[in-house]
Amino acid sequence: MDTSSPSAFVNGSLMRRYIGQKVRTVIQVVGSDVGSVVGKSTDDLQIIVKGSPPTTTTPSTYLEVIGIAENENSIRAEVWTNFGNSFDPVNYNELCKLANGEFKHLFI
């Protein structure tokens, strides 16, 4: 398992802690533009992801994005993964909170 560039689990509000660092998050696609995707984070904040998304990106699809957090609400994407339509954002959100809170020592 490649642990050379670990990424922190973040939701919308946790992004600001990792500006300039590698993060990973799941967003629900709201709309897409040329060269960027606008999505909703698991804690209902708006996130802009720069880069080229996978071809089949339709609104309401969940996408996992791994990349560098440019500022507190945008990511420059390196890896995109389609998580489909039936994804539970609540569970992910809790994971993010725990992974940056009580169980931070288990993660990066």
Q: Find the angle CA(54)-CA(59)-CA(60) to the nearest 5 degrees.
A: 105
- The residue (of 30 and 90) whose beta carbon lies closer to other proteins is 90
Binding status of residue 102 toward other proteins by CB under 8 A:
yes
Residue closest to 13 by CA, chosen among 99, 91, 96: 96
Binding status of residue 38 toward other proteins by CB under 8 A:
no
Which residues touch 53 (CB under 8 Å, ≥6 apart)?
29, 32, 37, 63, 77, 80
Residue closest to 71 by CA, chosen among 32, 20, 35: 20
Binding mask 69-98 for other proteins (x = CB under 8 A): -----------------x-x-xx--x---x
Give min distance, CB of 10 to other proteins, in A. 18
- The residue (of 44 and 88) whose beta carbon lies closer to other proteins is 88
Q: What is the binding site for other proteins (CB under 8 A)?
A: 86, 88, 90-91, 94, 98, 102
